[in-house]
Amino acid sequence: MEVIKQVHVIRETVQSLRCSGKRIGFVPTMGALHEGHLQLLRASASENDITICSIFVNPTQFNNPDDYKLYPRTLEQDIQLLEIAGCNYLFSPDAEEVYPQQPLLHFSFGALEEVMEGEHRPGHFNGVATIVSKLFHFVQPHRAYFGQKDLQQVAIVRQLVKGLSFDLELVCYPTVREADGLAMSSRNKRLDTTQRGVATSLYKAMQLAKEQLGQEQVADIKANVAAYLQGIDQVKLEYFEIANPDSLQPLTKLEGEQEVALCIAAFVGPVRLIDNMLVNLNEA
């Protein structure tokens, strides 16, 4: 695997690969890789001629400076995992390489960025859209791979691809979970032993909500989830929504809905975690 740090080098490399007829799969990450990332990398390796992974902790999508500073950085371990997963190129630039000047463009995603993550993390999706646009221009992939755990981010990127006419296929893979249900996340590395034990409450809260779908009103289900988490030490709920899986707009009733997205964000100690679950109401 070749490690590339300069934008002009990744551009030249990609141009040569595309000219030789190679199909390129791309997995953008912020590092601290786990099985969720590796699932995407293995899928790319099996479906494309060349797999490129990026590792870049993007400063423009953090509205909390401490969160950016404390985000896990494990580049040496990540490189070993990438080689095992069949990655061909790692693009790992410095911030100055990606942002030679302060970005001035601003993206608007309408109602999609006014709820959940957009509501609680102002400017977050503008930062996501900025870096994803840059990476798509640098790497020019045929396919780009994302995980369902960041469901709202995937919806933002899907809208970005359509709105800017990026010539690529967006591929989304289901969330990978630990044996106890906790969604795999780079931020899990920041949890201490006690916090790791109670972090499963987010998944349990969604399971509770799933069991009540069709039996309780939406407002009552949300109240039950909040009450359940309120009784767990070190867990502070930020939001729980039952939303349309396409628009991600919160629902107040379920009549006429065939599928819903259960979306949750909570602090476990100082660490903010998110998760979601897609539920077919005909099977719930």
Please check if 36 is assigned to a binding site: yes
Q: Which of 37, 106, 120, 142 is catalytic?
A: 37
How distant is the alpha carbon of residue 79 from its chain centre? 20
32 annotated ligand-binding residue: yes
Q: How many CB atoms lie within 10 A of CB 3?
A: 12
15 is in an annotated binding site: no
Answer yes or no: 37 catalytic.
Answer: yes
Q: Does the annotation flag 215 for ligand binding?
A: no
**Does the annotation flag 217 for ligand binding?**
no
User: Does 77 show up as a binding residue in the annotation?
Assistant: no
Nearest residue to 244 via CA among 232, 227, 233, 256: 256
Tell me if 168 is assigned to a ligand binding site.
no
Burial class (CB in 10 A: 0-12, 13-18, 19+), 233: exposed
120: Cβ–Cβ under 8 A, 6 or more apart, which residues?
238, 239, 265
185 assigned ligand-binding residue: yes
> In sequence order, what are the residues at sequence separation of 6 or more whose Cβ sits closer than 8 angstroms to the Cβ of residue 216?
224
User: Are the C-beta atoms of residues 53 and 32 closer than 8 Å to each other?
Assistant: no
31 is in an annotated binding site: yes
Q: Is 120 annotated as a binding residue?
A: no
What is the rounded distance in angstroms from the CA atom of residue 191 to the CA atom of residue 188? 5
Exposed, middle or buried by CB within 10 Å (0-12, 13-18, 19+), for 159? middle
**Distances from the Cα of 231 to the Cαs of 193, 194, 205, 211, 224, in angstroms?**
19, 15, 12, 19, 11
Is 35 annotated in a binding site? The answer is: yes
Q: Annotated binding residue at 246?
A: no
Which residues are annotated as part of the binding site for ATP?
A: 30-37, 147-150, 176, 184-187
Binding site membership: which residues?
30-37, 61, 147-150, 153, 176, 184-187
Catalytic machinery residues: 37
